[in-house]
Amino acid sequence: MKIAILGTRGIPNNYGGFEQNAENLSVYWVKKGHEVVVYNPDEHPYKGKEWNGVKIKHVFSKESKFGIGGIFVYDFLCLKDAVKQNFDIILNLGYVPSALFFYLKKKTRAKFVTNMDGLECKRSKWNSILKKFIKFCEKRAVYLSDYLIADNPGIKDYYVKNYKLKNITFIPYGARLFDNPNMDFLREFDLEPYSYYMLVSRLEPENNIEMILDGYILSKNKEPFIVVGGLRNKYAKYLLRKYKNIESIRFVGGIYNYEKLSSLRWYSKLYFHGHSVGGTNPSLLEAMASNSYIVAHDNPFNRYVLGEEAFYFKTPEDIAKIIKKYTDEFRDVFIQKNRRKIKEIYNWNRVSAEYLKVFKSLCEEG
């Protein structure tokens, strides 16, 4: 098959979950003999036309200059080009704002498959007007796609319930089991093994970072708390201001070195995951694969992935209580069971193969 992947900030990944997804899926599909093209914004630092056998097409974006306007232009230009290229499958990772341009579907025989991501219209960072716009894009994606992918059963349930769909299936993200922690990475941050807390997240309100940090402060614990995530957006700057006088809270920016980030997760005392509307979050799977002892926001998405192998919170007081009453008692059991889930369910080869099953079925339908 000839497959296009749209909707990311490009590969190799230096941004987030969709980019990680595109990176792993595309390489696997190429190894299975398929031709894969990933569309990259022209601002991506990788300028090559091929990466690990995957073809790269660079498209005008200039998001750094034009902001959200650049994203609109980028999504339109990617889709405009893709419908001319005789693809069998056009995989759209996300639908905002790309679904606005799904009318271009009539110009191609390619099947449109859309990964619906999380419940975008419920993210607290959007105002009421943007939420209505996102809902509009959601409806277009549902009705104009040939098939939908949900990365969490809770996301699938939402679309089945609200749109009475049958052309949707659950395929999760994947992760690689990590087995080679390097304690030397801790020295860069002046940390001691199992003597610090951490979280990895885009610094956005719906990821409950403020709740986690407020709970940490309530606990009166003085062991370092490491916050990993980009620091450029408005909410990140708010958090920096709010906690600037708390020396033990350290905002270290984004970390994209897999071994470094995984080692930090491995040696953390507790790893906090606050995502609440994003389905199955890739950073959570990576934490599970890196032997993290996890404390997660209590919602159906996180509970589906973690089950009983985590501690859960809904309030800052819950966080404080978990930190104060910390015990190693469940560490080994939680870690081993979560690693087994990565091996058996959230395995990139299995995930990539599931996508191919969907694609082949659609192509056979004609």
Contact 201, 17 (CB under 8 A): no
Helix (H) or strand (E) holding 59: strand 54-59
Where are the alpha helices (H) located in 232-347, listed in sequence order? 234-242, 258-266, 282-289, 300-306, 316-324, 331-344
Q: Are 207 and 123 in contact (CB under 8 A)?
A: no
In order of 26, 92, 133, the CA distances from 130 in angstroms are 32, 20, 5
Chain position carrying tokens 């008692």: 329
Q: How far apart are CA 98 and CA 79, in angstroms?
A: 8
Q: 185: pLDDT confidence band, cut at 50, 70 and 90? A: very high
With beta carbons less than 8 A apart as the criterion, state whether 296 and 273 touch.
yes
The pLDDT, as a whole number, for residue 269 is 98
How buried is 164 (Cβ within 10 angstroms: 0-12 exposed, 13-18 middle, 19+ buried)? exposed
Name the strand (E) or helix (H) holding 193.
none
pTM across the whole model: 0.89
> What is the Cβ-side half-sphere exposure of residue 206, based on CA atoms within 13 angstroms?
16
Q: Which domains does the chain have, with CATH numbers?
A: 2-174+347-365 (3.40.50.2000), 184-344 (3.40.50.2000)
The answer to whether residue 126 scores a pLDDT higher than 80 is no
Q: Identity (one letter) of the amino acid at 111? A: K
pLDDT in tens, 128-146: 898 899 999 999 999 999 9
Structure tokens at 80: 């405009």
Q: Rounded to whole angstroms, what are the CA distances from 240 to 12, 13, 215, 245, 269? A: 29, 26, 16, 9, 23
Pairing between β-strand 168-170 and β-strand 89-93 as defined by DSSP bridges: unpaired
| % residues pLDDT > 90 (the chain) | 87
Nearest 5°: phi and psi at 302? -70, -40
Please give the share of the chain, as a percent, with pLDDT higher than 70: 100
β-bridge pairing 35-41 and 50-51: unpaired
Per-residue model confidence as pLDDT tens digits over 195-211: 999 999 989 998 999 99
